[in-house]
């Protein structure tokens, strides 16, 4: 293989990060693996740019920034979107970065299944279809003999799924305990350092673009619960779905509780626990100088194993380029299997 034709679905923060990452890294990838990454279609929710001969990443980003969509991409812009994009151009790999939908996993689920059934590999950052239909999605990938990679769905740039599979295969993993949501970690860290209220800190993080306008998924623990399910299935082999996770968010945490914990040498963190006995997301007290004491939007996870004892990973849990870095790693891992 000397060329990889990619369809990129979703052109929000993560999708744009993927275009940027490809623009910056494609020469290195070509040099190291002999493969040219070629974006043949990029779509957002209402428009697309499609060209068999390849699109220019920087022009895609500029078009989106100036017009808000991709229909005005010179010569190749169109109103085609959704599943139809997968019908109108030849491709090898679907990179799927549409927004997470925890109600029915769409549109990620249908896009992904359509790609699998056309014998195409898929890389995703999406959590909805994985948290709701993990086994089904993986079964269809297996049946079609294609690869399904989702490192970016948990912890952004923090290595975890590939790390467990590729770096710790000698050990049996019994649990993963960690901080799997950057927004809530930022809010709790600021409440601790500034002594500020939950409400004001949430507003501050919305102004900074860390928390979303509707922060429910993050602050009520839904995002972390999705990631808990993905880790349970992918690393511990537990056949679980989203409704199996016990979830409590951080919206009831007061600055008084944080200060009280602080005086005793503790921090309050939103902790996810993944084990045979518990699938749980809840605020917990952690010791100040423990591996759980990471600040800001950082994520961390302590992986408990039989041979290697405990291994802790830390990394940026959110961010456009950070999340895209995990997706590009998945793309490279797929290239390596084909060379």
Copy the structure tokens of residue 311: 């291994």
Based on the shown chain and the rule CB under 6 A, indicate whether residue 96 belongs to the binding site for ligand HSE.
Answer: no
Count of helices and strands (H, E) across the chain: 12, 13
Q: Which of 227, 269, 280, 316 is catalytic?
A: 227
Residue with tokens 């016990």, as numbered in its chain: 246
For 285, list phi and psi in degrees, rounded to 5: -85, 130
Choice between 19 and 250, CB closer to ligand HSE: 250
Measured from the CB atom, the residue of 96 and 223 that comes closer to ligand HSE is 223
> What is the nearest approach in angstroms of ligand HSE to the Cβ of residue 56?
28
* Nearest distance, CB of residue 28 and ligand HSE, angstroms: 26
Residues 215-252 as b/e (b if ≥16 CB within 10 A, e otherwise) read: bebbbbbbbbbbbbbbbbbbbbebebbbeebebbbbbe
Q: Which is nearer to ligand HSE, 37 or 313 (CB)?
A: 313
| Residue with smaller CB distance to ligand HSE, 184 or 192 | 184
**How many residues touch ligand HSE (CB under 6 A)?**
7
Burial class for 31, CB neighbours closer than 10 Å (0-12, 13-18, 19+): exposed
Which runs of consecutive H residues, i.e. helices, occur in the chain? 13-33, 57-67, 85-88, 108-117, 128-143, 161-162, 182-194, 198-207, 216-219, 222-234, 255-263, 320-338
In the bound state with ligand HSE, the residue whose beta carbon lies nearer, of 15 and 182, is 182
Q: How far apart are the first and last CA of the chain?
A: 7
Listing DSSP states for 184-227 in one string gives HHHHHHHHHHH---HHHHHHHHHHTTSS-SS-HHHHTTHHHHHH
227 is catalytic: yes
Least distance (Å) between residue 223 CB and ligand HSE: 5
Phi, psi of 272 (to 5 degrees): -105, 135
Q: Give the nearest distance from C-beta 182 to ligand HSE in angstroms.
A: 3
Answer yes or no whether residue 317 interacts with ligand HSE by CB under 6 A: yes
Nearer to ligand HSE, 148 or 150 (CB): 150
Sites for ligand HSE among residues 154-183 (CB under 6 A): 181-183
Q: How far apart are CA 237 and CA 134, in angstroms?
A: 11
Min CB(61)–ligand HSE separation in Å: 20
Q: Per-residue x/- mask for ligand HSE, residues 210 to 249, rule CB under 6 A?
A: --------x----x--------------------------
Q: Which one of residues 55, 97, 318, 334 is an interface residue with ligand HSE (CB under 6 A)?
A: 318
Beta partners for 299?
315
Q: Which residues are catalytic?
A: 227
**Residues engaged in binding ligand HSE (CB under 6 A):** 181-183, 218, 223, 317-318
């Amino acid at each position: 293989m000397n060329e990889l034709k990619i369809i990129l679905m979703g052109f929000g923060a993560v999708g744009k990060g993927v275009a940027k990452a490809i623009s910056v890294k494609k020469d290195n990838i070509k040099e190291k693996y002999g493969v040219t990454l070629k974006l043949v279609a990029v779509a957002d929710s209402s428009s697309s740019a499609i060209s068999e001969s390849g699109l220019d990443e920087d022009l895609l980003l500029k078009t989106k920034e100036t017009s808000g969509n991709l229909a005005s991409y010179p010569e190749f812009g169109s109103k085609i979107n959704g599943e139809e994009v997968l019908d109108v151009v030849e491709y090898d790999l679907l990179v799927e970065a549409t927004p997470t939908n925890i109600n029915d996993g769409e549109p990620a689920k249908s896009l992904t299944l359509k790609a699998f059934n056309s014998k195409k590999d898929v890389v995703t950052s999406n959590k909805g279809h994985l948290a709701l239909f993990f086994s089904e999605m993986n079964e269809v990938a297996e049946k079609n003999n294609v690869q399904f990679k989702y490192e970016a769905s948990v912890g952004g740039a923090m290595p975890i799924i590939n790390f467990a599979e590729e770096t710790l295969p000698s050990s049996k993993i019994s649990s993963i305990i960690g901080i799997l949501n950057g927004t809530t970690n930022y809010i709790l860290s600021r409440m601790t350092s500034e002594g500020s209220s939950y409400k004001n800190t949430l507003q501050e993080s919305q102004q900074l673009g860390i928390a979303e306008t509707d922060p429910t998924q993050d602050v009520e623990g839904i995002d972390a619960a999705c990631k808990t399910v993905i880790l349970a299935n992918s690393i511990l082999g537990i056949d679980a779905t989203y409704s199996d996770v016990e979830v409590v968010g951080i919206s009831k945490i007061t600055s008084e509780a944080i200060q009280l914990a602080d005086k005793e040498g503790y921090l309050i963190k939103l902790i996810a626990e993944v084990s045979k006995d518990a699938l749980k997301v809840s605020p917990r007290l952690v010791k100040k100088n423990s591996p759980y004491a990471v600040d800001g939007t950082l994520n961390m996870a302590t992986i408990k194993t039989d041979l290697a004892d405990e291994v802790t990973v830390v990394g940026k849990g959110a961010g456009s380029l950070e999340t895209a870095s995990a997706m590009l790693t998945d793309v490279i891992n797929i290239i390596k299997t084909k060379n």
